[in-house]
Amino acid sequence: MAAEEASRSSPRSRREPKGRVPRQDKYSVLLPTYNERENLPLIVWLLVKSFSESGFNYEIIIIDDGSPDGTRDVAEQLEKIYGSDRILLRPREKKLGLGTAYIHGMKHATGNYIIIMDADLSHHPKFIPEFIRKQKEGNFDIVSGTRYKGNGGVYGWDLKRKIISRVANFITQILLRPGASDLTGSFRLYRKEVLQKLIGKCISKGYVFQMEMIVRARQLNYTIGEVPISFVDRVYGESKLGGNEIVSFLKGLLTLFATT
């Protein structure tokens, strides 16, 4: 609520000067991939369908980190099918981290808004038009998908993983008071310049990275809107969440608590 109220006092500075025709907004979707050969064609098809039906201008930037399963080959075929003006493959030789993947993708992004999401079908593109409407209604700097508000939810997880997620989010809310209901989610819309500045401020890696982005956004007084989403566990491939990631999350959380 505080974020929404703050946004109403600040939009004037971001409006186009009188007499100037505002440019059409363009949305650059960043898709970092690693071993997503089966999922990539489906998520790209759903993205193209969603943007085509809603009429928003877009591009999809695939950042593949040297996937050994042939994800890059699939991406090259998708680039040919949909055209290089819509699908841009910008691969890297190996896994270098999520934050650097976003930085790499933004170097090639021509949109003034950036959408980040998972390529494993956990995030359905049907929510993107809602993100865009929410951003325009409140002139938000960030719109975040939330599993823990309204009719948002999680599907396909076992009880253990649901408990881990809930507990992690609860502890985070208590320690950091971020002003957002879902800190560990990775389905978001950013103003491009806002994402660039936040990434420059963040020091975390792995699953803590998304959490730090919201915490830093609060520190810099960026406004945050939220859209309830349905998160669905991946159909193909294996989850990258394991014991090491949980330990890293707890260490990162304590570091943020001590430094923010």
Looking at per-residue confidence, does 60 or 151 come out higher? 60
For residue 83, count CB atoms less than 10 angstroms from its CB and return exposed for 0-12, middle for 13-18, buried for 19 or more: exposed
Residue appearing with tokens 């186009």: 16
Polymer length in residues for the chain = 260
In tens, the pLDDT along 180-192 reads 888 888 899 999 9
CA distances from 52 to 73, 85, 173 (A): 25, 14, 37
The top-level CATH class assigned to 27-258 is alpha beta
**pLDDT value at residue 38:** 95
Q: Please provide the average confidence, as pLDDT, over all residues in the chain.
A: 84
Rounded mean pLDDT of 175-202?
Answer: 87
For residue 66 the two structure tokens come to: 């040297």
85-122 tens-digit pLDDT: 999 999 999 988 888 899 999 999 999 999 999 999 99
pLDDT category at 55 given cuts 50, 70, 90 is: very high
pLDDT (0 to 100) of residue 46: 97
**pTM across the whole model:** 0.82
pLDDT above 50 for 19: no
pLDDT value at residue 175 = 74
Q: Cα(25)–Cα(12) distance, rounded to whole angstroms?
A: 17
CB atoms closer than 10 angstroms to residue 75: 28
Locus of tokens 């823990």: 148
Please tell me what DSSP assigns to residue 92. B
196 is written with which tokens? 């660039």
Domain ranges, ordered by start, for the chain: 27-258
Confidence of residue 54 (pLDDT cuts 50, 70, 90): very high
Tens digit of each residue's pLDDT (9 = 90 or more) over 237-255: 555 555 566 666 666 667 7
- For the chain, the C-alpha Rg in angstroms (whole number) is 18
Query: Is the pLDDT confidence value at 12 over 50?
Result: no
Residue 16 pLDDT: 45
